[in-house]
A and B are shown apart, each in its own frame.
Chain A
Amino acid sequence: MLGELYSRCPDAEAFRHAVEALGGDFVLDAAEMIELGEAYFRRHPDTSCNRDRESVLAGYALVRLCVTERLIRRLSPAEREFYRGVFQNPGRVGVLSGRFSDDELQAGLAAVEAAMAEIRESIEGIPKGPVKERFIGGISHLCTVLYLIRLHLDKRTPGLDSGQSGGGKS
């Protein structure tokens, strides 16, 4: 479905609008990821001797768009905006999270982390190669931002500290 949708859209912006309009109501298993990846590589051919940075970043952006919409599909509109915002600008996590209570932030994050675990399992099902690399590179940033939100939440609610934030503080 996503691969076909991508092929039909004339550019990345059109695809973004089309995907966001789905509200996360699409399948994103390994087979769909491969189909989307193959559609992307038809538009952005990748060779071992010619790695075009803009094409690679376009691939990551494509992955982040689709994965983000799946991750946030069960959240409230305000939470969706929050996650889209922090994925775009991780440095604003403190400001953007201020509109949610600790419980709201915790519940939303738990849902998103569970959805990410499913996505990562699906990526494991993709054979080694450029499609898998784009998906791993794409979700890497999203996973880091989720960790950042968890760090932020731990700081807001010290009683919930899971010990993840001690690395550089000593």
Chain B
Amino acid sequence: MSDPKKVLIIDDDPAICDSVKAVLEAVGFQTEVAYSGKDGVAAFRRSRPDVVLCDMMMEDLDAGAQAAKIMRKERPDVPIFLLSSIGDSTAETVGFGHLGFSGIFQKPVNFDLLLAVMGRIAKS
């Protein structure tokens, strides 16, 4: 990848941030991590990522949604994906699209799928 895309990972579990960061960097992405929704928004403004991967339940139960709404409003063109421990059907019920997310990856993340999506974004 000649111009590595930058991915912001927001999750209050440092282990998740470390492992997702390691996978993304292994395939050529640049990464930045933040451990709360509030810090994630600050990192979003500072580092201007091309893609965001964001957990939902952090300092507040809906901290991910709060952060996504702010990021979506400031830069609507940036894809923001929810990394969720809740079931797919539950995610559909709460309407992740209305919460500011472009899509959802259920934990444990299917990285074949995630990397395929990221690859398409990297080419666009």
Residues of A within 8 A of B (CB): 48, 51, 53, 56-57, 60, 64, 89-91, 93, 120, 128, 133, 136-137, 139-145, 147-148, 151-152, 155, 163-170
Chain B residues with Cβ below 8 Å from A136 are: 85, 107-108
Q: How far is the CA of A151 from the CA of B26 in the complex (A)?
A: 8
Extra contacts besides A141-B13, A170-B119 (15): CB < 8 Å = A51-B61, A89-B18, A91-B18, A93-B22, A141-B15, A144-B109, A144-B111, A147-B23, A151-B23, A151-B27, A155-B26, A167-B111, A168-B4, A168-B24, A169-B119
Given contacts A133-B85, A140-B108, contact A51 B22 (CB under 8 A): no
Taking each of A128, A141, A142, which has the highest tally of chain B beta carbons within 10 Å of its own beta carbon? A141
A-side contacts of B116, CB under 8 Å: 167
| A166–B111 touching, CB < 8 Å | no
Across the interface, which residues of A come within 8 angstroms of B5, CB to CB? 168
Instruction: Give the chain B neighbours of A141 by CB distance below 8 A.
Output: 13, 15-16, 18-19
The answer to whether A140 touches B27, judged by C-beta atoms less than 8 angstroms apart, is no
Q: Are A148 and B23 in contact (CB under 8 A)?
A: yes
Separation in Å of the B17 CB from the closest CB of chain A? 9
Chain B residues with CB under 8 Å of chain A are: 1, 4-5, 12-13, 15-16, 18-20, 22-24, 26-29, 57-61, 85-87, 90, 107-109, 111-112, 114-119, 122-123
Contact indicator A147/B111 (Cβ below 8 Å): yes
* Residue of A with least CB distance to B89: A128
Closest chain-B Cβ to A157's Cβ sits at a distance in Å of: 15
Can you show 23 pairs from A to B with CB atoms below 8 A apart? A48-B61, A51-B61, A56-B12, A57-B12, A90-B22, A136-B85, A136-B107, A137-B16, A140-B107, A140-B108, A143-B108, A143-B109, A144-B111, A166-B27, A167-B111, A167-B114, A167-B116, A168-B1, A168-B24, A168-B115, A168-B118, A168-B122, A169-B27
In order of increasing CB-CB distance, the 5 nearest A-B pairs are: A167-B115, A143-B108, A144-B19, A140-B107, A168-B27
Q: Which of B1, B57, B87 touches A170 (beta carbons < 8 Å)?
A: B1
Using CB atoms, name the residue of chain A closest to B63: A51
Q: Are B24 and A90 in contact (CB under 8 A)?
A: no
CA of A167 to CA of B28, assembled, Å: 9
The answer for the CA separation of A140 and B24 in the assembled complex, in Å, is 15
Give A49's nearest chain B residue, CB to CB.
B61
| Listed residue (B13, B24, B122) with the most chain A CB atoms within 10 angstroms of its CB | B13
Instruction: Find out whether the CB atom of B18 lies under 8 angstroms from the CB atom of A90.
Output: yes
Do A167 and B27 form a contact, CB below 8 Å, given A140-B107, A141-B13? yes
Chain A nearest CB, measured from B61 CB (Å): 6
Instruction: Write out the residue numbers on chain B whose beta carbons fall within 8 Å of the beta carbon of A64.
Output: 15
